[in-house]
Chain A
Amino acid sequence: EPEVTQTPSHQVTQMGQEVILRCVPISNHLYFYWYRQILGQKVEFLVSFYNNEISEKSEIFDDQFSVERPDGSNFTLKIRSTKLEDSAMYFCASSEQQTRISNYGYTFGSGTRLTVV
């Protein structure tokens, strides 16, 4: 069964450093997403991406965050200058179509646990 692959599974970074989280979506999917889950809290939407541009973003996704699809297979989330409160599990997801018309919903990756110290 096709999978969304995220690397690394764990990352520790110092406050103020830049970090890039990587995702390989399912190959025929066209829509890409990032979500995060702070320990003990809800899964929160960050951003959705389609046709090489952001289609929706949340209030969390401020200027410190950016996304990119640098080639035909990778989808990355960059946090420019990490803060302690960025510590969370970050999930990448992809879908063939947008959820309201999709028969399959999203496929989520296993997540990257980011710890900012």
Chain B
Amino acid sequence: AQSVTQLGSHVSVSEGALVLLRCNYSSSVPPYLFWYVQYPNQGLQLLLKYTTGATLVKGINGFEAEFKKSETSFHLTKPSAHMSDAAEYFCAVANNAGNMLTFGGGTRLMVKP
């Protein structure tokens, strides 16, 4: 069985500051991990994913995430926050068959001017 925990339901940063959104997972199989972003009144948009290979994954809009097996983590970072980054961010893990995603509770990112 898979599970995902996102620490911090709300994160607030100043524009230009580092963004760090935390995700820890539990998986009985080698994990496939995803970060999605949801802007108001929109669907879930894939930011980035880790399947195999390089543990530092780069995504859209300057975001990246690092898979750390020893820490069972997949934290999302961005060096410099922009006002347009304000949204809700979801971490997810796929099951072994690949036909189901288990999501974390989400983290709402607020960016202050």
Q: Which residues of A contact B (CB under 8 A)?
A: 4, 6, 31, 33, 35, 41-45, 48, 50, 55-56, 58, 91, 93, 97-102, 104-111
Interface size class of B (residues with CB under 8 A): 20 to 34
A109 B101 Cβ-Cβ under 8 A: no
Provide 29 A-B residue pairs closer than 8 Å at the C-beta atoms, listed in order of the A residue: A35-B103, A41-B105, A42-B105, A42-B106, A43-B44, A43-B90, A44-B103, A45-B100, A50-B99, A55-B99, A56-B95, A56-B97, A56-B99, A58-B100, A93-B44, A98-B99, A99-B94, A99-B99, A100-B94, A100-B96, A100-B97, A100-B98, A101-B98, A106-B101, A107-B46, A108-B44, A109-B43, A110-B42, A110-B43
B43 A108 Cβ-Cβ under 8 A: yes
Chain A's closest residue to B39 (CB) is A110
Complex interface: chain B residues within 8 A of A97 (CB) = 98
Chain B, 71-113, CB within 8 A of any chain A CB: 90, 92, 94-106
Complex interface: chain A residues within 8 A of B41 (CB) = 110
Give A54 Cβ to nearest chain B Cβ, in Å: 10
Complex interface: chain A residues within 8 A of B34 (CB) = 99, 105
B46 A56 Cβ-Cβ under 8 A: no
B44 A91 Cβ-Cβ under 8 A: yes
- Knowing A99-B32, A99-B94, A100-B32, say if A56 contacts B100 (CB, 8 Å): yes
Complex interface: chain A residues within 8 A of B46 (CB) = 104-107
B43 A48 Cβ-Cβ under 8 A: no
Task: Give A110 to B42 CA distance when docked, in angstroms.
Answer: 5
Complex interface: chain B residues within 8 A of A104 (CB) = 46
